[in-house]
């Protein structure tokens, strides 16, 4: 559903993100530990790109369906948060959300927006306020298990 909102997919052969970027370098813990600034900057670029996108008619249709079927839960692999932005109440984000952060070493959730300086090009990831470990996007990287609450 992300593509219809203008968000590039990961696996499209010509236009997908993994056709242009290395998932091993940008979507693994090892890649983050090897070059945290590069990985953080890439996700900051993606967050900026997603912020300019809006839910489309498909997202709205699910919200309308939820009004008819209150026990409806949306299950998505998308990390863009557009189901929430459209108004869906019950959303399970299997692969996490690029809009949330957690610390690298202990998984402490970070509640709030990244500091503005951390969203600039070539910025270092900010530290976790609880333990000092670098913050990372709260998304499932290659080699990681799905969250327990998914």
Which member of 59, 84, 95, 108 is catalytic? 95
pLDDT the model gives residue 68 = 97
Cα separation, 42 vs 31, whole angstroms:
12
Cα separation, 37 vs 106, whole angstroms:
19
pLDDT the model gives residue 45 = 87
Is 95 one of the catalytic residues? yes
Residue 14 has pLDDT above 70, yes or no: no
Q: What is the mean pLDDT of residues 118-136?
A: 88
Q: Are strands 109-110 and 91-93 parallel, antiparallel or unpaired?
A: unpaired
Domain boundaries in the chain? Answer: 3-139
pTM for this predicted structure = 0.87
Q: Are strands 135-139 and 96-103 parallel, antiparallel or unpaired?
A: antiparallel
Q: What is the mean pLDDT of residues 127-148?
A: 94
pLDDT the model gives residue 18 = 65
pLDDT the model gives residue 16 = 67
- Burial track 61-90 (b if 16+ CB lie within 10 A, e otherwise): ebbeebeeeeeeebebebbbbbbbebebee
pLDDT in tens, 109-118: 998 877 776 7
Nearest to 84 by CA among 71, 68, 96: 96
Q: What is the mean pLDDT of the chain?
A: 89
pLDDT the model gives residue 147 = 85
Indicate the class that CATH gives domain 3-139. alpha beta
Q: Name the E strands within the chain.
A: 74-76, 91-93, 96-103, 109-110, 135-139
> C-alpha dihedral over 93, 142, 48, 83, to 10 degrees?
-10
pLDDT in tens, 19-77: 676 788 899 999 999 999 999 999 998 998 899 999 999 999 999 999 999 999 999 99
């Amino acid at each position: 559903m992300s593509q219809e909102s203008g968000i590039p997919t990961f696996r499209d052969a010509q236009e997908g993100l993994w056709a242009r970027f290395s998932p091993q370098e940008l979507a693994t813990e090892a890649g983050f530990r090897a070059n945290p600034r590069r990985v953080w900057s890439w996700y900051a670029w993606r967050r900026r790109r997603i912020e300019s996108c809006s839910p489309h008619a498909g997202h709205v249709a699910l919200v309308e369906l939820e009004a008819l079927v209150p026990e409806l839960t949306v299950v998505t692999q998308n990390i863009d948060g557009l189901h929430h932005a459209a108004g869906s109440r019950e959303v399970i984000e299997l692969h996490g959300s690029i809009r949330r952060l957690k610390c690298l070493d202990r998984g402490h959730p970070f509640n709030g927006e990244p500091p503005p300086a951390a969203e600039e090009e070539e910025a270092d990831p900010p530290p976790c306020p609880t333990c000092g470990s670098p913050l990372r996007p709260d998304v499932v990287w290659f080699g990681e298990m799905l969250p327990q609450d998914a």
